[in-house]
Amino acid sequence: MHKKPVIRRSFAVKEPLAHAKGIVFYHALPDNRAQRLANLEKPLMQLAIISAVGANGIIGIENRLPWRLPEDLQHFKRLTMGRPMLMGRKTFESLPGLLPGRRHLVISRNPDWQAVGAEVFPSLAAAIAACSTEESTFVIGGGEIYRQALPLADTLYLTEVNLQPAGDATFPEFDRAAWQEISREAHSSANGIEFAFVHYQRIQADS
């Protein structure tokens, strides 16, 4: 029997309680990301990740998508319209331009980096904090940012693409048992690619 998904309302890491509860053990993470995440009080807004992922986990190659899937671009537009979008600097630079109707919050370690229409932040935590009054926020990639955002996300919108393309950017491995599949829509694109729109919600352990 599936556990009921509960919307995550607070984000407090208490070692070793976190581990005992099956919450990701941030102190085991590399670099000082563990400390940064531990210090982050997750706001009330829903944090969603949206990504199109090959059957081999590949999401990108040479800073572009590894497939042509117009149906997925429409799906992305439908879900993200009106919502803030958090992204890494490389993903921002891979976009064809600013996407109308959405804030672009870009994460970069380079304090001099800027681009017209982009809000720049030195960390994921700072970008999330800038969306705290929003109802929901989308993390739109790429691989580096998905890795850091996954432990914080409530919801995953994955387009599971039935291809095994070559690539250099991947979606992080994740524990499927920690997520409940809410819906799955299988499709075949006009150019013959099989894919499915899948919505997962994090299963929150009762506290």
Ligand X SMILES: NC(=O)c1ccc[n+]([C@@H]2O[C@H](COP(=O)([O-])OP(=O)(O)OC[C@H]3O[C@@H](n4cnc5c(N)ncnc54)[C@H](OP(=O)(O)O)[C@@H]3O)[C@@H](O)[C@H]2O)c1
Nearer to ligand X, 83 or 89 (CB): 89
The yes or no reply on residue 110 touching ligand X (CB under 6 A) is yes
- The tokens describing 74, both together, are 């429409």
The yes or no reply on residue 128 touching ligand X (CB under 6 A) is no
Dist CA 170 CA 187 (whole Å): 22
Applying CB under 6 A, the site for ligand X has a residue count of 30
Angle at CA of residue 172, ends 177 and 104, nearest 5°: 115
Dist CA 163 CA 53 (whole Å): 9
Nearer to ligand X, 179 or 195 (CB): 195
Rg of the Cα trace of the chain?
A: 17
Dist CA 8 CA 201 (whole Å): 10
Q: How far is the CB of 17 from ligand X (least distance, A)?
A: 26
Question: Is the CB of residue 146 less than 8 Å from the CB of residue 60?
Answer: no
Dihedral (CA of 147, 149, 153, 157) sign: negative
Candidates 10-18, 143-151, 180-188, 195-203; binding stretch for ligand X (CB under 6 A): 143-151
The yes or no reply on residue 151 touching ligand X (CB under 6 A) is no
- Restricted to residues 156-175, the positions that interact with ligand X (CB under 6 A) are 169
Candidates 20-28, 37-45, 86-94, 189-197; binding stretch for ligand X (CB under 6 A): 86-94
Q: What single-letter amino acid sits at 22?
A: G
**Contact flags string 2-31 toward ligand X, x per CB under 6 A:** ------------------------------
- Considering only 42, 89, 104, 202, the residue that binds ligand X (CB under 6 A) is 89
The yes or no reply on residue 39 touching ligand X (CB under 6 A) is no
Dist CA 61 CA 165 (whole Å): 9
Residues found near ligand X in the complex (CB under 6 A):
51-52, 59-61, 63-65, 87-91, 94, 107-110, 113, 122-124, 140-145, 148, 169
